[in-house]
Amino acid sequence: MGAAAAATAAGAVNGIGPAAAWSQPDIVLLSGVFCGALVFLLRSREPSRLKKAVYFGVSLVGGYALTPHLGEAVPSLPLWLAAFVSSALLVAIAMVVLDWAEASVPQILSRLVERVLGGGGESGSEKK
């Protein structure tokens, strides 16, 4: 029982779960994802270092996850280039969507609240 517990503890400390999922990292894929994330990071006009770091992390993880799908969609694309494109493109698209949402969602929600509440105080002042 003690040996099994020790093996379990050692496995947890060494990260058997992540190691099993990522036992043979593909250096070509990782280098493409890293370069795509790095280029995006260097070209980003985001002033916040925290946001840049988060975008860099999202680009790395998302690019690594999306690259196989891009490789299936465009089989003639070399793996490194597919990784580079998916990494840089993922965060570029995410930023566009987030910027749009930041600008549009408050207005949409305000209009929705006005419709649900019947236009707020304007209709009440007209009745007096």
pLDDT in tens, 43-80: 878 788 888 888 888 888 888 888 999 989 999 999 88
Range of the domain at 60: 24-118
Q: Is residue 125 part of a domain?
A: no
Give the pLDDT confidence of 5-48 residue by residue, as tens digits. Answer: 444 444 444 444 444 455 677 888 888 888 888 887 788 787 88
Q: What pLDDT is recorded for position 10?
A: 44
Q: And the tokens for 52?
A: 């840049």
CA distance 69 to 86: 9
CA distance 82 to 79: 5
What is the percent of the chain where pLDDT is above 70? 73
- Is the pTM higher than 0.85? no
Q: Is residue 31 part of a domain?
A: yes
Mean pLDDT of 98-120: 83
- Number of helices (H), then strands (E), belonging to the chain: the values are 6, 0
Q: Is residue 18 part of a domain?
A: no
Q: And the tokens for 9?
A: 């503890």
Q: And the tokens for 115?
A: 């419709």
Q: Looking at this protein, which amino acid is placed at residue 29? A: L
Q: What is the number of domains present in the chain?
A: 1
